Structure 1
Amino acid sequence: MADQDTLQYDGPAGGWGSLRGITRIFGKEWPSPGVLETLARQNKPGGFMCVSCAWTKPAHHSAFEFCENGAKATLWEQTTRRCTPEFFANHTVTDLKDWTDHDLEQTGRLTHPMRFDHASDRYVPCSWEEAFEGIGRELKALDPKSAVFYASGRASLETSYLYALFGRLYGHNNLPDSSNMCHETTSVALKKIIGAPVGTSVYEDFSTCDAIFFFGQNTGSNSPRFLHPLQDAVKRGCRIVTFNPVRERGLEAMINPQSPTEMLTGHETRISSHYLQVKAGGDIAALLGLCKHVLAKDDEAKRDGRSVLDRDFIKQHTHDFDAFEQLVRQTSWQEIEEHSGLTRVALEEAGQVYVEAERVIGIYGMGLTQQVHGFDNIGMFVNLLLMKGNIGRDGTGISPVRGHSNVQGQRTVGISEKPELVPLDRLEDMFGFTAPRDTGLTTVDACHGIMKGDVKAFIGLGGNFVRAIPEQEAMEAAWQRMRLTVQIATKLNRSHLINGEIAYLLPCLGRSEEDLQESGPQIVTIEDTFSCIHGSIARRKPASEHLKSELAIVAGLAKATLPPNPKVLWDEWVSDYSKVRDLIEQTYPDQFHDFNKRVFTPGGFYRGNSARERIWKTESGRAEFTVPQQLSAHGFANAPGRYRLITLRSNDQFNTTVYGYSDRLRGIEGTRSVLLINPEDIAAAGLKAGQVVGLASDAEDGRKRYIGGLTVTPFDLPNGCIGGYYPELNPLIPLDHHDKASKTPAAKAVPVRIVT
């Protein structure tokens, strides 16, 4: 529990703090002169789509349609700093391994294609022709199934489509992307439970819902523009109930930076009416408690001839309700309180908000997906919504908030290791080849393959894979035994310093930079968290004349690797991206009809969702009630001295990109080497605030994992739960500590011990 000595931030999200955060990065980066014009066009129809989170771009936009972290991402990309061949001539890769994530990216934009030279331990410049030829030669010499083509979540739909096509033409489905590390649990669980792998809500639902239930999502740092519709919803009477081990300020209070009145008066909006600090891994039990209250209220209502449950919906549209009901009735409140860390009274009060609301939206983030039993977390959340028919009506739905700007869209157009999710028959007809049908490698599978020596080549389309994955120490050692590693990037990061026998670093255009091809300036498209497609066109001058677009790089690699095919027209597609959109439309005609005509539809065009229409593409043909086999999602036993580590991102960070050392919304300044722990646990462990300690893995696999140099910092967390920053604490996560259904690393409840 919090006390007066607990570190905290008393101000609201947004407000002057947000503006100061943007100004600080502006001063640090000295971005190009046109950055203000880019920000003015950001997330607006006919403008530039933010490279940060996947929050939607509304048709009726504000004067400034960007948030603090979206502005930071644009400033970061538009920096005047340059990471040139001269920089690499002055620094060995071994020396650079001692640099922080922040300092590596502070070197600026990559300007030239580079090849790693083992003899000198340096990157040396090479031509694009040399790079493509060398990479193609290596890929042709390998078994295609020994190669992995990874994609981060920011590559456009056009690039993603061609990248997936390249992989399949080459001969594999080894196409993991950053979904595997964060929301793959969503696509696996929702696909099985409601027949659609993505959320069912749309932006307009937030203007008609009566209640919103949040689980494990940090809006204030990860998707701040979401705060605006939340503020509007609260002002019209919508009630917001939040479940999160961490008290995130964005879901407590907000001042709208675009409201002169709020900025001048300091008047803040209270966001959550109820805020419940569930234990890490306690969400199944918490959700079951809500469901238990709903059933109890339905029992009371039946005595008066009324019903709380939507029994017609349950009868017509769902399957296995009886088994679920039996579980809820048989589970005691004592068990629910023990596993959730919440009281019956608190859960009943939250449950009553659900009972009284006609329309409810369920929001969640990686607090649910990154657990060993994350599938059951999501299943229980859907159970709650199904009880009152809160899927498939306006103002309702299940709504995961996606992170990276096009991570959902990449899956939509074919980047998937699961061949059953891709229209392979259609691709074979279009391009005259036999597509591989075997299941490819997920991120976790790829890591196992690299450690075993089965994976010989890795191509990274963006991202910071080696830094983002679990088991970092062992993975870095194994990584260097691969034959080929290729990284496509805009800035230097840790993954570029861990190289195979042959390694290339290929610099690409940023999304904010003009992409000029033979037919003229090019448009790219992305998909937001609500399944809406948006066009993006950039105007800024590229950071270097030597940069190529991601699409051109993918095409260059493919041409150098694959035999000629009269139906595969790489040069034609690079010259005019609209022709790639024609291919996407041909491959997915129901979702992308008239693609080129709808690119700049205000608010994006909606590609549809069967579950929103109450068409359930499941085995039973109905929405599935699920019955979890355990009440805890963390996947390990409680033991004396064992803590549940929650890895966190600061609000001065996006994924592995660290903009600075100001986690303003948590009151942490100047450091990321902290161990967040509540005062009661500090006292019980015999620790003192300010003491420097380490964390050791307490997984039962017996492998030693350790991180030292962490300062004990009093913080408001549930007993037995501690916190620290991602990616610094990733080495403590075992590779096999992941969701059982999706293999998403379980980074929100990691078994550890404190070492003094």
Structure 2
Amino acid sequence: MAGGDAMRERSGTVAYEGSSGGWGSLRGIGETMLRQAATPAALDTLRRQNKAGGFMCTSCAWGKPKHPHAFEFCENGAKATLWELTSRRCGPDFFVRHSVTALRGWSDHDLEHQGRLTHPMRYDAASDRYLPCGWDEAFQAIGRELRALPPKSSVFYASGRASLETSYLYALFARLHGHNNLPDSSNMCHETTSVALARLIGSPVGTCVMDDFAQCDAIFFFGQNTGTNSPRFLHLLQEAVERGCKVVTFNPIREKGLTEFVNPQRPTQMLGAGATRISDQYLQVRPGGDIAAIMGLCKVVLAADAQRGGTVLDHGFIAEHCTGFEAFRAQAAATPWSSIERESGLSQADLEAAAGVFLAAKRVIGVYGMGLTQHVHGFENIAMLVNLLLLRGHIGRPGAGICPVRGHSNVQGQRTVGIAEKPELVPLDKLAEQFGFDPPRETGLTTVEVCEGLLDGSVRAFLGLGGNFLRAIPDQARLEPAWERLQLTVQIATKLNRTHLFNGRVAYLLPCLGRSEEDLQQSGPQTVTVEDSFSHIHASLGHRRPASPQLRSELAIVAGIAKATLAPNARLRWDDWTADYGLVRDLIAETYPEQFARMNARIFETGGFYRGNSARERVWQTESGRAAFTAPAMLAATDVPDDNGRYRLITLRSNDQFNTTVYGYSDRLRGIEGKRDVVLMNPADIRRAGLAAGQRVALLGDAADGRARRVDALEVVPFDLPQGSIAGYYPELNPLIALDHHDRESKTPAAKAVPVRIAAAG
């Protein structure tokens, strides 16, 4: 591999010698199936996964192709399905044996490993246990508590996996109740995308579709770990590389999914024909150094245009479609290479080589993940990538574009149908006309603002539509005690997690169907829909028998709470909508006619139906009516200066994990087995700090507010990282992230360059 390899000291580091995919992937699936004691019927579910007539994976939001593979699932997608289809049950008998306080000492894995929740439960403070209750009892109690509280003191959180139908009704319920407090998991990961792309190109989501990857000449990756977070993407990458597409990767860690891949669906590769090399150049940028790195690329491109008589840039596109170009060009020219090299951790020669690939390509796709979004200046990270693509007109034409890779399976879709704290993103006048009420116009709370409201007491009730909110947020040590001061907490979930162990004065745990399970309502089996990262809508139909006859669908639970909370209104047909989800899709089509016209007739289109993207058509719905170049005021995406003994911490997900769900303790693709209590360090940093591999240390948060933040007993593991940076697992290291350490524009928590120091283990 080219690109800075000689600059990195890798001797003695922990690493995985194999490729992504291959037999290791199949082994990982098999081990999860055995641990979860999934029935043979689970294999039939996997066969249908991400295919017409089957169900859409609850893991990542990667697209579903028109022509699926024989097995259209990846290792993590299979693990998510097997995790849901476990034969293990977590029923009332479990809570008789275990108090809630005692369960707080259990690991994330062990809590979820108990299996599927089977009965609606209420928390009893006197016994410190969950007790079974009836559905109507729960709905009436929740409605009574919500009516007694000021509406704006309530928060309706959504995790990102709920269907479009459920999400639409959940958002409607919140606004009928009187607030826009609708944070979702996007607030924790890709809110920076929603804010930056909307402002710069007029679309809050990426501009690419799957077909673009069959036409592009180069793909530039920034801060996205395909092998762990979206492995089905590897098929497209493999095909692109084999036809000559060049891949250039910028990431502090050399992730196996972007170095080499053995396709489990190619017998010749599985039998030893050799792995496909993915990245032509792999540049290990410093955490927070992407602004500088992309500025270096732009600087080379602009210089080439000057040297070649103005034949490199797409000047016609820039003149017709863009603003801010001259200011950006002037800043690039004035930025010295010494500053770029210092902040990026990369050499001028490496960046020139990467820019050479960009210059040679006619069609370029820019791919990124949370390695760009979760920074204090994440907005500027994305803005710089937009700058790079605009230089040669790589937005708004086939085979080119910007491609944020989303996480949860429907997190993008939830925003599309109204899960948003920003009222300007929702057609409130249309909702008022449809349902005969005056929707609230005040901006609601983001995830960070919800946490602030927990601390100051202004938030009094929390409804969680899935997720593990209290485990996923920063500053957990401060927020867990505040959580218990809430008046009401309601959690809709399939499995037990840590958030369920911290309860308000009134608390309910409501078990729901999984997406793979049959959803049988009065009108028959129900289909739900989800949106992928490419703005395509897919139908999902579950076939498995529910884990318990007591389970209700997410939509039925939302409708039940809403009906018990709100005043009667003839236009609010909660029972009818629960009986037939097609009626809800008719509402969505009525509210969003430009994107969802004839929704019920289109949901079974092969490959999903496309709801459109204005920026892809070069219609820029920005304030100026054009795409915007921006001139960043900084080269580092962090505000914390380098200092002796201060490190930039990157939080990671393992190969055996999806979000806060930990399937097991194998991070195979990084060569780490059987443990998560680790801190990954460059060997030179280990020596410089007077440490040794295997030693136990503590990490201390080093935020400007001076609050004590500590995670103890972490094992030092030598790893191939840029010097001055360290890494460890999410969510275990979230307590080190200060609540105010977030992107300045979107308030997305900045989990990728967290300032920390190392101390002796306690």
Shorter chain as denominator, the TM-score bin is over 0.9
Matches of 1:2 and 1:62 in 2, distance apart?
A: 40
Matches of 2:307 and 2:228 in 1, distance apart?
A: 41
Equivalent residue for 2:407? 403
Equivalent residue for 1:672? 676
**Equivalence map 1:125-136=2 (5 Å):** 125-136=132-143
Equivalent residue for 1:216? 223
Matches of 2:60 and 2:546 in 1, distance apart?
A: 22
* Alignment partner of 1:310 is 2:314: yes
SS at match of 2:170: helix
Instruction: Check conservation: 1:697, 1:751, Cα contact below 8 A.
Output: yes
Q: CA deviation at 1:20?
A: 0.4
Q: CA deviation at 1:32?
A: 2.8
**Equivalence map 1:231-246=2 (5 Å):** 231-246=238-253
Matches of 2:38 and 2:596 in 1, distance apart?
A: 36
Equivalent residue for 1:600? 604
Equivalent residue for 1:294? 301
**Equivalence map 1:641-720=2 (5 Å):** 641-720=645-724
Of 476, 497, 513, 1:509 maps to 513
SS at match of 1:695: strand
* Alignment partner of 1:578 is 2:582: yes
Of 260, 274, 287, 1:280 maps to 287
The letter of the residue matching 1:654 is F
The letter of the residue matching 2:493 is A
* Alignment partner of 1:419 is 2:423: yes
Instruction: Check conservation: 1:371, 1:635, Cα contact below 8 A.
Output: no
Instruction: Check conservation: 1:214, 1:364, Cα contact below 8 A.
Output: yes
SS at match of 1:275: strand
Equivalent residue for 1:114? 121
Equivalent residue for 1:462? 466
**Equivalence map 1:252-267=2 (5 Å):** 252-267=259-274
SS at match of 1:608: coil
Equivalent residue for 2:484? 480
Q: 1:37 to 1:689 in 2, by over 3 A?
A: same
Of 98, 103, 117, 1:96 maps to 103
Of 610, 616, 619, 2:614 maps to 610
* Alignment partner of 1:589 is 2:593: yes
**Equivalence map 1:196-215=2 (5 Å):** 196-215=203-222
Equivalent residue for 1:498? 502
Matches of 1:577 and 1:732 in 2, distance apart?
A: 43
SS at match of 1:451: helix
Instruction: Check conservation: 1:45, 1:59, Cα contact below 8 A.
Output: no
Instruction: Check conservation: 1:447, 1:475, Cα contact below 8 A.
Output: yes
Matches of 1:162 and 1:482 in 2, distance apart?
A: 24
Equivalent residue for 1:249? 256
SS at match of 2:433: helix
Instruction: Check conservation: 1:559, 1:570, Cα contact below 8 A.
Output: yes
Residues 140-178 of structure 1 show CA distances to partners (whole Å, capped at 9, x for unaligned) of 000000000000010000000000000000000000000
Equivalent residue for 1:25? 32
Matches of 2:390 and 2:114 in 1, distance apart?
A: 51
Of 546, 556, 566, 2:570 maps to 566
SS at match of 2:232: helix
Q: CA deviation at 1:635?
A: 1.9
Q: CA deviation at 1:266?
A: 4.3
Instruction: Check conservation: 1:151, 1:178, Cα contact below 8 A.
Output: yes
Matches of 1:31 and 1:154 in 2, distance apart?
A: 22
Of 66, 77, 80, 2:73 maps to 66
Of 634, 637, 655, 2:638 maps to 634
Of 173, 182, 190, 2:180 maps to 173
Q: CA deviation at 1:33?
A: 3.0
The letter of the residue matching 1:101 is D
Equivalent residue for 1:150? 157
Q: CA deviation at 1:10?
A: 1.4
Q: CA deviation at 1:639?
A: 1.2
Matches of 1:641 and 1:514 in 2, distance apart?
A: 55
SS at match of 1:637: coil
Tell me which stretches of 4 or more aligned residues in structure 1 moved more than 3 Å: none
SS at match of 1:224: coil
Instruction: Check conservation: 2:9, 2:684, Cα contact below 8 A.
Output: no
The letter of the residue matching 1:222 is N
Equivalent residue for 1:14? 21
Matches of 2:112 and 2:12 in 1, distance apart?
A: 35
* Alignment partner of 1:164 is 2:168: no
Q: CA deviation at 1:34?
A: 1.5
Q: TM-score normalized by structure 2? A: 0.98
The letter of the residue matching 1:45 is A
Instruction: Check conservation: 1:591, 1:608, Cα contact below 8 A.
Output: yes
Instruction: Check conservation: 1:185, 1:744, Cα contact below 8 A.
Output: yes
Matches of 1:589 and 1:360 in 2, distance apart?
A: 32
5+ residue gaps, structure 2, are 1-7
Equivalent residue for 1:738? 742
Matches of 1:73 and 1:239 in 2, distance apart?
A: 32
Matches of 1:702 and 1:540 in 2, distance apart?
A: 52
State the number of aligned residues: 753
Residues 69-111 of structure 1 show CA distances to partners (whole Å, capped at 9, x for unaligned) of 0000000000000001000010000110000000000100000
Q: CA deviation at 1:4?
A: 2.9
Q: CA deviation at 1:637?
A: 1.3
Of 33, 44, 68, 2:51 maps to 44
SS at match of 1:704: coil
Give me the CA root mean square deviation: 0.6
Instruction: Check conservation: 2:122, 2:132, Cα contact below 8 A.
Output: yes
Matches of 1:253 and 1:618 in 2, distance apart?
A: 39
SS at match of 1:545: coil
Residues 4-13 or 140-149, more deviating: 4-13
Matches of 2:572 and 2:131 in 1, distance apart?
A: 33
Equivalent residue for 1:529? 533
Matches of 1:746 and 1:446 in 2, distance apart?
A: 16
Matches of 2:174 and 2:123 in 1, distance apart?
A: 24
The letter of the residue matching 2:272 is T
Equivalent residue for 1:75? 82
SS at match of 2:162: coil
Q: TM-score normalized by structure 1? A: 0.99
5+ residue gaps, structure 1, are none
